Amino acid sequence: MHNHNHLQPPPTTISSAATTTSICRSITFSTPFILLITTLFSLLLILSLSFSPTTPPPHPHPSLFPNYLNSPSTPNDQTTLPPTPPSIAYLISGSTKDSSRILRLLFSIYHPRNQYLIHLDKKTSKSELNNLALTVQSVPVFKAAQNVNVIGKADFRYKIGSCSLAAKLHGASILLKLSKSWDWFINLSAADYPLVTQDDLLHILSYLPKDLNFVNHSSYIGWRESKKLKLIVVDPGLYLAEESEVYYATQKRVLPDAYRLFTGSSSAILTRKFIEYCILGSENLPRTLLMYLSNSPSSESVYFPTILCNSQKFNRTTINHNMLYASLNSRSQARRLNSSDFNDLLMSGAAFASPFKVDDPVLDQIDHELLHHNRDEPVPGGWCLGDTETNKCSVWGDAEILRPGPGAKRLEKHFLELFSNESYLSDQCQYEKSSSSR
């Protein structure tokens, strides 16, 4: 019942496939989104940041990637065509008993152009990990696009301590190796969920400069955060194979003055260039900071904002917004979202929201009203060519064709609010002198 166009076309048909693609593209394009394009084009001019060309995904299935072989020779020569959609690398992390949530999340954010890496920590049993890997293997489109991977050997992860940062960097470095073509890195936890389809998100991102990093940040280090940063902890995951308690030293330390500390949220949308800078770069700050934070309980919320804002190369690319909706209580902890929050989620214009309880009814509402899919099927996008409701995504078309919906409108509105008013510039890596309490 799956994949009617499964047969590999001979290489000679590739150019004709490309022509149909262009036609399809202009058709998709003459829909109500012309307005969006013009507004976003002007936005692009306002920002006037550099563009880097995308290369197509490395693992082509001819139905999903008909342009793969000849795409380097076909840069956008017709200006009426939309830019090539970008691609996102997702790192999805979870722990024991999270695999059904992770699968649900995976289907809700699946798109053949993206890369997905799933990491379950060491608390997860081997059999749960194997079952998850087998389930992923059994989904035909995951196999054909070869873009879903599960890390076989788990890293330790504690709620505090630096091992979760190490796991994140490890995941990001695997993603760099897995594919040369993704543009943005997003890490999600099993408690996160999208509010827009991937077609919506990729469509909007294709009109943004590819060097923008979205991360909440502030140089204001309040007493709570400052207390945490001065603590010295030793994360046993760094040197013990067995799980044991995080160890607190009795001594405190001062805050660093060789660089300015920024704190933010642990979630972010980061560019490939920035991830490469952190992992492969020749400058020392990413490593120095990693060593400083290896003894700190709040490494995740500090690492990325601090590097971004202390680097001349990246400080102007940083947008003080992470596109993730969270509702913080008075102790600045995110509370669980439920059906009562649905309208706020919708109005927020965010791309993701967090945290949700396992199988909370609001997730069904999001699936039904915003993503239009069943929890165990991918969200239909431009690549789904099936003509009935039930087999939509079992017939594959070109993954470059996006079919954005109302979610793209919400994102567009949100981005326009963010950029039209140049106040975003005054929010960029601002250093508040008064905050440097040591």
Ligand X SMILES: *[C@@H]1O[C@H](CO)[C@@H](O)[C@H](O)[C@H]1NC(C)=O
- 143 to 272, 330, 348: CA distances (angstroms): 24, 45, 35
Cβ-based nearer residue to ligand X, 70 or 428: 428
Nearer CB in complex with ligand X: 326/395: 326
Residue 199 one-letter amino acid: D
> Minimum distance between the CB of residue 423 and ligand X, rounded to whole angstroms?
4
- Is residue 25 within 8 Å of 400, Cβ to Cβ? yes
| Residue closer to ligand X (CB basis): 216 or 226 | 216
CB of 341 to ligand X, least distance (A): 7
Alpha-carbon distance of 104 to 373, in angstroms, equals 11
Q: Which is nearer to ligand X, 293 or 337 (CB)?
A: 337
Smaller CB distance to ligand X: residue 50 or 125?
Answer: 50
131-135 contacts at long range (C-beta below 8 A, 24 or more positions apart): 131/99, 132/99, 132/102, 132/103, 135/99, 135/103
**Run of H or E including 308:** helix 299-310
Binding site for ligand X (CB under 6 A): 216, 265, 312, 315-316, 320-322, 326, 335, 338-340, 421, 423, 428-429
Minimal distance in Å, beta carbon 199 to ligand X?
A: 24
For residue 149, the surrounding DSSP H or E stretch is strand 148-150
As given in the structure block, the two tokens for residue 279 are 């992992």
Strand order in the sheet with 352-353: 193-194, 352-353, 324-325
Contact at 8 Å (CB) between 23 and 109?
no
3-state SS assignment for residue 249: strand
Minimum CB distance to ligand X, residue 118 (Å): 23
CA angle 363, 365, 369 (to 5 degrees): 125
Nearer to ligand X, 147 or 216 (CB): 216
Smallest gap from Cβ 327 to ligand X, in A, equals 8
Minimum CB separation from ligand X for residue 246, in Å?
A: 24
